[in-house]
Amino acid sequence: MGRPPHLRREAVNMRVPSLTLHYRTYTTKLAGTYQDIRGMAASRPELYKADDYTASQTFGESLRASGGDGILYDSVRHAGGTNVVALRPKNVRDVVMGTHYEITAPVSGKVIARTLAQI
pLDDT at res. 2: 44
CB 47 within 8 Å of CB 59:
yes
**pTM of the entire predicted model:** 0.72
Q: pLDDT for 2-29, tens place per residue?
A: 445 688 999 999 999 999 999 999 999 9
pLDDT at res. 51: 86
Distance of alpha carbon 50 from the chain centroid = 11
Q: pLDDT for 65-92, tens place per residue?
A: 999 999 999 998 888 999 999 999 999 9
- Residue 85 has a CB neighbour count (10 Å cut-off) of 17
Report d(CA 42, CA 99) in Å as an integer. Answer: 33
